[in-house]
Structure 1
């Protein structure tokens, strides 16, 4: 059975955006779509003062209504709607375990153009063993016309889909991030932009001339290492154009800047060196999650 693209719903505008993104992604990947909501019984749960619908009934209705709405837009898409009973973070991680990826909505922070990450989303990002994609309701990423196979990777003006940006650090998450980025680019007929950035310690070099030579040398060395990592993926996906950017400076800042022209950002989440069983998002991924204007996919370490 094909692994579905799973979307977690909570009734917000952001989760509606995640459901639309998930439906497009499922159509592009030719996968089923699974819509889930999680309800946890609480000893203080009660019928609301206005109306007769309980939180459990509302949670059961939510995925069904979203499925009906998306079925009209994507009539060829296989859609499953489920209500899960238990703590939402735990239920979402369980749902992600059987999925191709898990998509969640996250509210924007107005003019800051960042994510407001609640505890449920953060827990899913930190604990899920499959990629988790955070989608904003006001995402600037170009839309994908997934209803027509001939227009799957085209925007509303018939232009090619924007690149998928992969942020790598040449560490243990690199292969996973590149795999996800190339797979996502392939179904979009898009290119891949690889970002490898390094923020040197203060006072690493002294003098303007030394600094310029050092920047040139380190950029050349970084490009060579990245190209080595990219070699098998270029061979596997020869039709995908690849752009490599090795730059000095804040990795988070460069990735956030790249997100303004990307359809998707892919970053890694590595395990802690000292506590391998404890979740660790990392400061770069954390910053990108909060401030990227495009959807962000967080790839766990294998």
Structure 2
């Protein structure tokens, strides 16, 4: 099956923002767009306060609504992007499992997140979290209200549009486990947008200095910092050669990677992080850094699974 950019829809504003982002990404990649709505019939009941009663929702009404979700979104996106090949339809089953299956047939899967909440971060729903945790293809989460112009820098007059240059792509990398799929995705995303790539590597001081960094000799601190910076440069060298048009800025920073990535996201078009594929049914399957970035970054976040 030919690869597509697939967007999961549930009729919410955040999923519509995700579909719009997916349409733009499909055009950038020269791929068709597939819109998917997972239909799982439930014996819903609706409380009608004016009538003072609880009424069951007609299954036919549910079916018609479910069919309208991808159809209406496809019509709107076709109107805005007449050159984009779009398909739309229903799939059945448990939402996370069905979306994960759709992802396996896709170049990437795009899902919505409920936007910025009281903690100034993504409110990642249970379906999105479960999907991210089990897929083996890249997944992008897009917050509610995300617009095409948000990916771009202001011009000299302070105006932002889809015609001004893109903001940088940000990549979070763990030098203990650098993975080709993750790095390749970030470089390709920057190349497609004709923008720069900022690579963030967070590292911590030796545990013996954790409570008193000032106790570290200055020359040792410089030596550790230089070693981390050199390791980052060496890891990226082959990718710089492969993507010579991508301007790369390296940030090897002391402290937790999640904090630095969330800061960098404030001026990014896309944040790219990894997720180590785990085959054990127990434990967190997203990873602490990726989990934090998903919940607190205010830019779209791409999660790239790797071994």
Contact 1:46 1:54 in 2 (8 A): no
* Corresponding residue of 2:286: 281
Residue aligned with 2:228, SS: helix
| RMSD (Å), alpha carbons | 2.7
Counterparts of 1:219 and 1:140, CA distance in 2: 39
Note closer, same or farther for the CA distance 1:166–1:140 as it changes in structure 2 (3 Å cut): farther
Counterparts of 2:305 and 2:290, CA distance in 1: 11
Where does 1:248-267 land on structure 2 (aligned, <5 Å)? 248-267=254-273
Where does 1:34-49 land on structure 2 (aligned, <5 Å)? 34-42=34-42, 44=43
Contact 1:268 1:285 in 2 (8 A): yes
- Out of 122, 132, 140, which is 1:125 matched to? 132
Note closer, same or farther for the CA distance 1:280–1:201 as it changes in structure 2 (3 Å cut): farther
Residue aligned with 2:166, SS: coil
Per-residue displacement from partner, 1:30-75 (whole Å, max 9, x unpaired)?
1100000001234x35796578852222122100100000001100
Residue aligned with 1:294, SS: coil
Counterparts of 2:221 and 2:134, CA distance in 1: 37
Contact 2:186 2:272 in 1 (8 A): yes
Q: Which runs of 5+ in 2 are unaligned?
A: 47-54, 153-158
Counterparts of 1:253 and 1:65, CA distance in 2: 39
Counterparts of 2:188 and 2:275, CA distance in 1: 18
Counterparts of 1:140 and 1:6, CA distance in 2: 18
TM-score where L is the length of structure 1: 0.88
Per-residue displacement from partner, 1:204-229 (whole Å, max 9, x unpaired)?
26562626444432221112111111
Counterparts of 1:61 and 1:140, CA distance in 2: 23
Aligned-residue offset at 1:232: 1.6
* Corresponding residue of 1:71: 78
Note closer, same or farther for the CA distance 1:182–1:209 as it changes in structure 2 (3 Å cut): same
Note closer, same or farther for the CA distance 1:215–1:53 as it changes in structure 2 (3 Å cut): farther
* Corresponding residue of 1:239: 245
TM-score where L is the length of structure 2: 0.86
Residue aligned with 2:216, SS: helix
Aligned-residue offset at 1:279: 6.5
Contact 2:148 2:162 in 1 (8 A): no
Counterparts of 2:138 and 2:285, CA distance in 1: 14
Residue aligned with 1:7, SS: strand
Count of residue pairs brought into register by the alignment: 292
* Corresponding residue of 2:155: none
Q: Bigger radius of gyration, 1 or 2? A: 2
Counterparts of 1:60 and 1:171, CA distance in 2: 46
